[in-house]
Chain A
């Protein structure tokens, strides 16, 4: 999977979870940029990402990821390992 493909799919996940068709994401996007992205929604986001990409995010990485770029790194790391 390329980084672009991951972004495309991840955008869909964000739009579904936050119920907002306008959401655009990039490497620098953080929870501060998306209104409803609090710690509870972060859980749902992780569940949705795990389902969409058929991966398991390890415990240590769930809360340490700083932005969407790092989330994509985790997805790619899992997919290509």
Chain B
């Protein structure tokens, strides 16, 4: 829905939210999510607009909303209603009006210190209690700056100033976040600055309706919360696909020549393009996969990235389509090469006609209205939150390298005539075992973002994943794969529940970046072994078709299961006899050091 894409019109969203909601609810395959909003001020429209942004990301939220300014009581006391609701995310929506005791002008530094400690402890106790009672993810607003400064500029440097107090309190909140994995700060301090504090904190809305921010600012607020949530749910974009002429540099390289395009430090326009290239390069380091899609002669165009003053170089890109094909086809083609879905792409092109072609032909891919002024590209890309990263795992940082390693694997494949010989040459090592704490967040992330190689498309939160591991009625397996080109990290997950003497497979997923590497067989071998250890006789597999998982329709057949039932919707049930003689199916991966 275009109206909900950044840069959006906040007042327009407030006004039309009913009809937007009606429209968004027409989508199917929405992922349900229970969110408790514990507010320190009015939260009514914050929730309604948050719902819109989450629906846009394919998430269907159900809300628990605390009574006005009852966040603390709801969190700290017995709350059967909230326990019954069983939130997957708790969002504590407080603002600087909820600070109980600000420093007074006659306070000693020690007294201020005490107030800071008290304020922080009040919140920290609440977070500790919420995580022990509900075990779920917590999102907490930090504080926006005060609306006035009694001490003027000195408010920032004097410990009795509110600006100073809020800065220090926010740092304490951040420290807590750094030490707790399922705790995230919603940075309204930055947001309100970016929006304009005067408009954000317009006291009219506080006195009139007890809103902590102006109503027209609510969409910006809710949008940012939705970015955190979609990132936690593993629904971020993965690939940044870039045009070249007038996107990465000023001018048309085919006409002007590599020496005459604008980039580097010589001109203001060149500087703006260089700054954008630097931003793109940093995204690459964060794990965003960079690709090119340009109408050009490849050899000529790459000269632009080979200039001595170019920030980006051809090696930064995991795939390139520099040709005269329609850009939508290039995008779909690149997605197939990288084994990713087209909707995980963000396409950036200064030419509105090219943007329109991609928008029309690749539904689901993000095509921001980037405009045609290089100095604003960063703003639009950055504020859109496509790549908002809540965890920034080692896996993310290594991801770009992984895809580049895949490109090298493909090159290596071309030198073999026998595929088996190629697999052997990869020198693959797997680690397959029950879930361990180090990988819980990655496993949860994978269950939420795998769509293609996914037999049942069940989604799990991290808390659920942790609970399953501890439950003796479940068999859990994760698979990690590395080879001579690099480490792919955790790429496959299997979850089965045991009933009588059978293991029912609730989930079997694999990342498409390790397709055709025998990993699915290695997982099967380990599963059979686990079942045998526990005296299980049958494995029951289920396949539920979706728009995206056609590739695994016959997966269980391939693994040697027999189909026992099917229905008109295409749902199938399969059975595997564990008691029969079993020959290991994986021939190329050395598992667990074996």
Interface of A is mostly: helix
Q: Closest B-chain residue to A44, C-beta based? A: B14
Q: A19-B22, A43-B45 are in contact. Are A59 and B208 (CB under 8 A)?
A: yes
- Cα A63 to Cα B207 in complex, Å, equals 12
Chain A proximity of B307: nearest CB distance (Å): 48
Secondary structure of the B side of the interface? helix
CA distance A68 to B211 in the complex (A): 24
User: In the complex the two chains form, is B18's CB within 8 Å of A51's CB?
Assistant: no
A51 and B22 in contact, given A59-B204, A59-B207, A59-B208 (Cβ under 8 angstroms): no
B contact residues, range: 10 to 19
A19 touches B14 (CB 8 A): no
13 more contacts with CB within 8 A, not counting A44-B17, A47-B15, are A13-B15, A16-B15, A16-B16, A19-B18, A40-B44, A43-B208, A44-B14, A47-B215, A48-B15, A59-B204, A59-B207, A59-B208, A63-B208
Is the Cβ of B11 less than 8 Å from the Cβ of A51? yes
Contact among A19, A36, A40, A47 for B11, CB-based, below 8 A: A47
Taking CB atoms, residues of chain A closer than 8 Å to B44 are 40
* Residue B364, interface by CB 8 Å: no
Q: Are A47 and B14 interface neighbours, CB within 8 A?
A: yes
Q: Which residue of A lies closest to B209 (CB)?
A: A43
A47 touches B16 (CB 8 A): no
User: A: which residues have CB within 8 A of B?
Assistant: 13, 16-19, 36, 40, 43-44, 47-48, 51, 59, 62-63
Contact with A along B8-50 (1 / 0, CB 8 A): 0001001111110010000000000000000000001100000
A36 to B216, CA, bound (A): 20
Minimum CB–CB distance from A16 to chain B (whole Å) comes to 5
A/B pair count, beta carbons within 8 Å: 39
Nearest Cβ distance between residue A32 and chain B, in whole angstroms?
A: 20
* Sample (19) of A-B pairs whose CB atoms are under 8 Å apart: A13-B15, A16-B19, A18-B18, A19-B16, A19-B18, A19-B22, A40-B44, A43-B208, A43-B209, A44-B45, A44-B215, A47-B14, A47-B215, A47-B216, A48-B14, A48-B15, A51-B15, A59-B204, A62-B208
Q: Are B207 and A17 in contact (CB under 8 A)?
A: no
Q: How far is the CB of B9 from chain A (nearest CB, A)?
A: 9
Q: Across the interface, do B215 and A43 meet the contact criterion of CB distance under 8 Å?
A: yes
Q: When A and B form their complex, which 6 residue pairs have the shortest distance between CB atoms, in order from nearest?
A: A19-B18, A48-B15, A40-B44, A51-B11, A19-B19, A47-B215
Measured in the bound complex, the distance between the Cα atoms of B207 and A18 in whole Å is 25
Task: Give the distance in Å from the alpha carbon of A48 to the alpha carbon of B16 in the complex.
Answer: 9
Question: Per-position contact with A for B199-218: 1 when CB-CB < 8 Å, else 0?
Answer: 00000100111010001100
Least CB distance, B221 to chain A, in whole angstroms: 14
* A48 in contact with B11 (CB, 8 Å): yes
B16: which A residues are within 8 A, CB to CB? Answer: 16, 19
Cα(A17)–Cα(B11), bound, Å: 11
Q: CA separation between A9 and B526, bound complex, in Å?
A: 68
B44 to chain A, nearest CB (A): 5
Closest CB in chain B relative to A45 CB, distance in Å:
9
Task: Determine the residue in chain B with the shortest Cβ distance to A63.
Answer: B208
List of B residues within 8 angstroms of A18 by Cβ: 18
Kindly provide the distance from the CB of B278 to the nearest chain A CB, expressed in whole angstroms.
38
- Per the bound structure, the CA–CA distance linking A40 and B68 in Å amounts to 13
- Which residues does chain B contribute within 8 Å of A63, judged by CB atoms? 208
**Residues on A with beta carbons closer than 8 Å to the beta carbon of B45:** 40, 43-44
Q: Provide the residues of chain A in CB contact with B207, threshold 8 Å.
A: 59
CB A37 to nearest CB in B, in angstroms, measures 12
User: Which of chain A's residues have a CB closer than 8 A to the CB of B19?
Assistant: 16, 19
Q: In the assembly, what is the distance between CA of A40 and CA of B215, in Å?
A: 11
Q: Min CB distance, B211 to chain A, in Å?
A: 8
Of all chain B residues, which has the CB nearest A19? Answer: B18
Contact check, B204 vs A44: say whether CB atoms are below 8 A apart: no
Q: How far is the CB of A12 from chain B (nearest CB, A)?
A: 10
When C-beta atoms are compared, the residue in chain A nearest to B215 turns out to be: A47
Chain B residues, CB < 8 A from A13: 15
Nearest-neighbor residue (CB-CB) of A47 within chain B: B215
Q: Which residues of A contact B204 (CB under 8 A)?
A: 59
- B22 proximity list for chain A (CB < 8 A): 19
